[in-house]
C-alpha cells in the first residue's frame, strides 16, 4: 500500500465517489431517453428499473459497516468497484428490461459499499483534525461524477452503449487504485477512548424525524433523477444530447452543497431544510413548465443540484451529531432513508407519467415537497441550546467529527501525534485480523 497525504486521500476518495455515485448511480437518468427508445421501455418500466439500484443500495448499506470491519477498507472498496465495473458493463450490453435491471442493481451495490470503505480508510490515514475537510471533498465527488457524465451524453447520446463501456473502464481503474492506496485494516481507535453511550429514547425520536424528512426528500428527488432528461426530450422536444446541460448544471451547483450544509449547522438547520426542500420542489415545477427552453431547463438543474446536495450534506451532519461515536450508524440511517424514498418514488412517478403525463406527475411531486417543507420546524435540533459562543464553536462538519470519540469525562477525545503515528504504522503493516 502506498501512503498518501490527507489532501491526496481526499481527492482520491472524491474520484472513487465520482465513479460509484456519479457514474454508476446518478448518470442513469441522463441516458434514459436513448435507452428507452432503443429497448422499447415504457415510463412505468423505467420507473421500476430506476428503483432497483436504490433497493440494492439499501441492502448493501445494511452490510457495509460489517463488511468494512470484517473485510477491511481495501477489500470492501475493491468489492464495491468490482460491482460497479460489472454493473456498468452489463448496462452497456443490455438487450431488455431484465439485463438492464441486473446491471443497475449491481451498480447500487457498488454505491452502498464505497462510502463506508472510504470512511474506514479515512480514520486510518487522515488526522482527526482533518476529517471534516476530507469528508467534504469526498462528498463533492458525487457532483463531479454527475458533471463528468455530461460530455458522454453530449457526444455519445446515440451510442450510449459505448459511453457505459467507458464508465466500466473507469471503474476498473478505480478498483486497481483502491487496491494500491487503501489500507487493509478497517480503523484504528485509541484503546482508552470511552465507548459510545447507549442510544436514548430522545435520540431515537430525533433520528426518526430526521429519517422521515430524508425519506420525503428522496421521494421527491426521484422524479428529477430518473425522468428529468426524458421529460425534456419527450415534452420539450429537446435533442437527447442537449439534456447533458441539465446534469452539468446539477453537478456544478451541487459543489456548493457542502458549504450550505456547513452554514446551516452554524445557523438554523430547520430553516435551511425548509428553504432547500422548497427549492427542490421548485426545480421540478420549473422544468415541467418550460421543458423546451434549454436555458430555463438548465437553471432548474442548478436549483435542483444545490438543493439536493445541500440537503444530503445537512442530513449527513445531523446523523453524525445525533449519534456521536457511531459513524457506522449515524450518517447511514438518513442516507438509507433517502434511498428508500427514491426507491419508493421512482415507480410511482413512472406510473403517474404513464397515466397522467409528465406535467401532472412532476406537479404532484413538487406539491408534496412544498407541503413537507412547511413542517420543517419539526426538523431535529442536534445541538443543545447554550451560549452563542459555545454553539458557534461546536458547529460545522469538523466539530461533528470531533465529538465522535469521547474520554471518560465525556469531553472530545484528543491524543498526541506519537500515538496516532503508532496506530497508523500498525494499520499499514497489519493484516485484516490486526484491528484495534
Three-class SS of residue 106?
A: helix
Q: Could you give the dihedral angle defined by the CA atoms of residues 229, 234, 237 and 240, in that order, rounded to the nearest 10 degrees?
A: 40
Of the ranges 31-35, 79-83, 115-119, 143-147, which is most confident?
79-83
Q: Does 203 or 361 have the greater pLDDT score? A: 361
CA distances (Å), 372 to each of 313, 377, 423, in order? 18, 10, 46
Three-class SS of residue 406?
A: strand
CATH topology match: 1-188 vs 199-402: yes
Cell reading at 324: 456521536
Query: pLDDT value at position 159?
Result: 82
- Exposed/middle/buried for residue 44 (C-beta within 10 Å: 0-12, 13-18, 19+): middle
Split at pLDDT 50, 70, 90, the class of 187 is low
Exposure string of 78-106, with b = 16+ CB inside 10 Å and e = fewer, is bbbbbbbbbbbbbbbebeebeebbbbbbb
Query: pLDDT value at position 412?
Result: 55
Q: Does 264 or 187 have the greater pLDDT score? A: 264
Split at pLDDT 50, 70, 90, the class of 400 is low
> Counting every residue, how long is the chain?
436
CATH match of 199-402 with 3.40.50.300: no
Check residue 129 and report its DSSP letter.
G
Three-class SS of residue 138?
A: helix
Could you read off the pLDDT of 273-295 as tens digits, one per residue? Answer: 999 999 999 999 999 988 888 88
Query: pLDDT value at position 390?
Result: 42
Q: Average pLDDT for residues 298-314, to the nearest whole number?
A: 91
Of 395, 30, 390, 72, the C-alpha closest to 243 is 30
Q: Write down the domain spans for the chain.
A: 1-188, 199-402
Of 288, 300, 335, 427, the C-alpha closest to 114 is 335
Q: What percent of the chain has pLDDT over 90?
A: 36
**Taking the CA atoms of the chain, what radius of gyration do you get in angstroms?**
21
Report, in this order, helix, strand and coil percent for the chain, each rounded to 5.
80, 0, 20
Q: Spell out the CATH class of 1-188.
A: mainly alpha
Query: pLDDT value at position 321?
Result: 78
Amino acid at each position: 500500500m502506498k501512503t498518501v497525504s490527507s489532501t491526496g486521500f481526499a481527492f482520491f476518495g472524491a474520484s472513487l465517489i465520482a465513479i460509484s455515485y456519479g457514474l454508476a448511480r446518478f448518470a442513469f437518468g441522463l441516458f434514459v431517453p436513448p435507452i428507452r427508445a432503443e429497448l422499447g421501455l415504457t415510463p412505468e418500466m423505467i420507473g421500476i428499473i430506476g428503483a432497483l439500484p436504490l433497493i440494492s443500495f439499501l441492502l448493501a448499506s445494511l452490510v457495509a459497516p460489517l463488511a468494512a470491519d470484517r473485510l477491511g477498507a481495501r477489500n470492501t472498496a475493491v468489492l464495491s468497484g468490482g460491482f460497479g465495473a460489472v454493473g456498468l458493463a452489463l448496462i452497456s450490453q443490455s438487450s431488455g428490461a431484465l439485463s438492464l435491471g441486473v446491471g443497475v442493481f449491481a451498480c447500487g451495490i457498488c454505491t452502498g459499499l464505497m462510502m463506508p470503505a472510504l470512511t474506514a480508510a479515512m480514520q486510518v490515514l487522515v488526522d482527526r483534525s482533518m476529517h471534516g475537510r476530507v469528508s467534504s471533498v469526498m462528498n463533492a465527488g458525487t457532483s463531479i461524477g454527475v458533471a463528468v457524465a455530461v460530455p458522454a451524453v453530449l457526444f455519445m447520446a446515440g451510442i450510449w452503449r459505448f459511453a457505459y463501456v467507458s464508465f466500466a473502464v473507469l471503474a476498473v481503474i478505480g478498483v486497481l487504485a483502491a487496491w494500491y492506496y487503501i489500507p487493509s485494516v478497517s480503523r484504528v481507535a485509541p484503546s482508552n477512548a470511552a465507548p459510545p453511550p447507549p442510544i436514548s429514547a430522545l435520540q431515537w425520536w430525533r433520528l426518526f424525524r430526521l429519517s422521515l424528512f430524508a425519506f420525503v426528500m428522496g421521494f421527491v428527488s426521484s422524479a428529477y433523477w430518473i425522468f428529468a432528461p426524458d421529460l425534456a426530450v419527450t415534452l420539450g422536444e429537446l435533442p437527447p444530447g442537449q439534456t447533458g446541460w441539465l446534469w452539468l448544471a446539477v453537478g456544478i451547483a451541487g459543489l456548493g452543497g457542502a458549504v450550505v450544509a456547513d452554514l446551516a449547522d452554524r445557523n438554523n438547520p430547520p430553516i435551511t431544510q425548509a428553504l432547500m426542500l422548497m427549492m427542490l420542489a421548485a426545480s421540478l415545477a420549473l422544468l415541467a413548465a418550460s421543458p423546451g427552453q434549454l436555458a430555463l431547463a438548465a437553471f432548474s438543474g442548478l436549483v435542483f443540484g444545490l438543493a439536493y446536495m445541500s440537503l444530503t450534506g445537512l442530513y449527513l451532519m445531523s446523523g453524525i451529531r445525533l449519534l456521536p461515536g457511531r459513524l457506522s450508524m449515524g450518517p447511514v440511517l438518513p442516507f438509507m432513508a433517502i434511498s428508500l424514498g427514491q426507491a419508493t418514488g421512482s415507480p410511482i412517478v413512472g406510473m403517474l407519467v404513464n397515466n397522467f403525463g409528465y406535467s401532472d406527475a412532476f406537479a404532484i411531486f413538487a406539491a408534496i415537497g412544498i407541503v413537507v417543507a412547511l413542517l420543517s420546524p419539526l426538523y431535529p435540533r442536534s445541538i443543545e441550546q447554550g451560549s452563542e459562543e459555545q454553539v458557534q464553536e461546536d458547529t460545522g462538519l469538523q466539530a461533528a467529527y470531533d465529538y465522535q470519540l469521547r474520554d471518560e469525562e465525556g469531553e472530545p477525545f484528543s491524543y498526541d501525534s506519537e500515538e496516532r503515528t503508532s496506530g497508523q504504522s500498525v494499520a499499514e503493516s497489519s493484516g485484516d485480523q490486526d484491528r484495534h
